[in-house]
Amino acid sequence: MKKIFVAALSVLFGIVNTHAAEWQVRTACAGDIKVLCQQPGDWQFELHVDSIDGKEILSVGLTSDSLRMPPRFDVIISVPQLDTHHLWRPGDMDRCQLRPDWMGYYSSHLAFDMPLYAFINSNNGNRLTVAASEPLRNVDAQFGLVEEGSTLLGKLSYFNGPQTRMTRYETKVMLDPRPVMWSEAIKEGAGWMTAEAALEPVAAQDAAFAPLYSTWYNFHQNVTADRIERECLEASRMGMKTIILDDGWQTDDNNRGYAFCGDWQVSHNRFPDFASHVKRVQDMGMKYMVWYSVPYVGRKSRNYERFKGKYLSESADAGVLDPRFPEVREFLCSTYENAMKEYGLDGFKLDFIDSFRFDNVDPAEADNYDGRDIKSLPAAIDVLMKEIYRRLSAVRPDVLIEFRQRYMGPAMRQYGNMFRAGDCPADMQSNRQRIANLRLTSGESAVHSDMLEWNLNETPENAARHILSALFGVVQYSMMLGELPENHTKVIRHWLDFSQAHRETLLKSEFRPYHPEKCYPVIEAESDDELIVAVYDDMSVPEMKTSGKRTYVINASGAPSLVLDMPANPRRVVAYDVYGCEAAAPEIVKGVQRVAVPLSGYLQIEY
C-alpha cells in the first residue's frame, strides 16, 4: 500500500469557526478533490489519501471536544469528460443516463440504495467508480456533467437533515479508475463497502435460490386458503419450492392501501385455520413465507391509537412507526417471532423498510427524544433489523427473509438473504435491468426477479421471453397456474427444469452483463464447466469464447436468428425450441454470421 502525501493533511480549529472552510487533497486519478464545510464550528478535520491495488482511498475524520451536532460537509470530485459517456448507479432505471449536474441528484441510506456510482464508456469500460464507506447514514449525491467545459462532477454530501450529537466521525471514499470492465469495478466497490464497514451478511440458504410462487399479481388481496392450495399444488408439480403469501391475508378488505395493516391478525374468513393451511402447503414440498409491511400501522387498525405519538410520519392511510422506541421494536420483533412459532412459517417478505425515514423534520426534537432509547434513526433501524433476524433464526436457523429493491445496500444484507427486483409488472426489460444491477451489488445473497406475469393470449415464445429476462435471478412466478394454456405450462416447466439444471452457473458463478446503457442486450454467466449467453437484441453481436466449455446461446430477442462472432468451427451444435425439444441445428462456422436460433430457444455448442 502506498500513501500519497498531500499538502493539507489536517486543519485544526481551536475556536468556534462560523466561516466556510475548504481543503484540497491531491489524488493521482481525479486530480484535486475538495472537502468543503460551510460551518465547521469547533470541529477538527483530518484528511489523507492512500493508494492500493490501483485504487485510491480518501479518508475524512472529524473530531470535537464536546458532544455536538456534526457539520454538513461535501466531498467534491471534478474530472474531464474523456471517453466517458454514461453514469451507472444501483437504483438507476434510465439506461445509465449521464444527466447534467443540475439534474443528477441522488440519495442513499441504510434502507435506500447505496452510495456507489460509476462513470463508464460505451465499450463496457470503467472510467471512474466512486464508493462511499457510509452504510447507515444518509449520503446525498450529485453526479453528472458540468456544461461549462464538459467536466464530470461527483459530490457526496454528509449530514444533511436531522442528525444526532457525536464527538467523532470517520468515513472513506474509494476512487477506482482502473481500465477494467465496469461490472468488475462495481462488484469490487460493493465488496469494499461491506468490508470497510465490517458488515457480516447473513448466509443465503440453498432454499433462497429455489424457484418461487407469489400471490401478488395474480390474487392481489383476494386470497383464500382453498385457492392458494390449488395453486400451490400446480406450482409444486412444476418444480416451484416456495410460496410467498402477499397482502390480503390479514384483512377482509380488497381496496389495496395500508389502512388495515398493523394488527396482523389472520382473516378467518379467508383462512379458517391458518396453521393447518400452511402445513398442507408444506406437505406439498413447498416452504411458506408471509408478507408484512413492516413500518405501517393503518388508521383502521386497533393498534393505531396504541402507537399514537410514536410515528415518524403519518399519511391519510397509515402511520410509519418510529423504531427508536423500544416498545415499537419489541412489537415488530414479537409479531414475526410469534407468527413463525404459531403457524410454522418458513420465512417472511418484510416490505417497505425504506419508509423508515424523516419527512424533513425529526419529530423527536419537539419532545427532546422522550421515550426513545436510541436517538439515531439509522442506528435504531439497524438494531431492529438485527434483532428481528436474531430472533427468527433462533426459531428456524434456515429462515428465509426477502427484501425489495431500493432497500438493498450492504447493511441490509446483514438482515436478509433474498433481494427481489423492484416492482415492474409484465415489464421484461426493467426486470432484466433490475436483476442485473442487484446481482452486481448483492454478493452471495440470492437475487430474485420481480414476479412474472403475462397475458394468457400471448404466444408461448413471447411468454417465455419474460422468463428468459429473469433467468439470471431466482424466478418468481405470479400467474394463475390453474388457468394457463397447456403450451404456457409446458414453457414454464421446461425453463424451470433448465434453470435448476444450470442453477450454479446462472445464479452463483461469474456474472457479466454487457452495455447497461442499452438495457443489457447480452448477459453471460460462466462456471467451471459451462458458459451461458443470453441475447436480448438480435442486432447485438456477442463475441463467443473458445474456453473448451459447453456453451449455451439463448435467443431471447424475439427474432428467429442471432448474429454470432464465432472464434472457431464448433465440433457439435444442437438446437432446442421454446419447449426444450430438439430442433433443426444450424450450420455454424468460424467468423461473424447470422444464425437461425429457435424463438425463445437455444443452441448447445461444443468445440
Strands (E) in 527-601, as ranges, are: 530-535, 550-555, 561-566, 572-576, 582-583, 591-596
- Residue 1 pLDDT > 50: no
- Give the tens place of pLDDT for each residue, 253-309: 888 889 999 999 999 999 999 999 999 999 999 999 999 999 999 999 999 999 999
* Coil vs helix vs strand at 272: coil
Supply the DSSP string of 113-129, one letter for each residue.
Answer: --SEEEEE-TTSBEEEE
Instruction: Name which of 62-71, 546-555, 588-597 the model is least confident about.
Output: 546-555
The confidence score (pLDDT) of residue 161 equals 87
The confidence score (pLDDT) of residue 19 equals 79
The confidence score (pLDDT) of residue 91 equals 77
Confidence class for position 92, pLDDT limits 50, 70, 90: low
Average pLDDT over residues 409-417: 95
- Give the tens place of pLDDT for each residue, 163-190: 989 999 999 999 999 999 999 999 999 9
Q: Where are the domains positioned within the chain?
A: 2-196, 510-606
The confidence score (pLDDT) of residue 11 equals 38
Average pLDDT over residues 327-345: 98
**Does residue 238 contact residue 280 with C-beta atoms inside 8 Å?**
no
- Residue 8 pLDDT > 60: no
- Residue 588 pLDDT > 70: yes
The confidence score (pLDDT) of residue 226 equals 98
Q: In the predicted model, what is the mean pLDDT of the chain?
A: 94
- Residue 217 pLDDT > 70: yes
Portion of the chain with pLDDT greater than 90, in percent: 92
- Residue 536 pLDDT > 60: yes
- Residue 523 pLDDT > 80: yes
* Coil vs helix vs strand at 228: helix
Average pLDDT over residues 46-58: 96
Average pLDDT over residues 300-329: 97
Smallest CA-to-CA distance from 408 within 176, 115, 182 is with: 115
The confidence score (pLDDT) of residue 94 equals 66
- Give the tens place of pLDDT for each residue, 459-508: 999 999 999 999 999 999 999 999 999 999 999 999 999 999 999 999 99
Average pLDDT over residues 76-93: 92
Average pLDDT over residues 225-253: 97
The confidence score (pLDDT) of residue 93 equals 66
Beta bridge partners of 315: none
Average pLDDT over residues 371-382: 96
Backbone dihedral angles phi then psi of residue 328, each to the nearest 5 degrees: -70, -45
Backbone dihedral angles phi then psi of residue 381, each to the nearest 5 degrees: -65, -40
The confidence score (pLDDT) of residue 86 equals 97
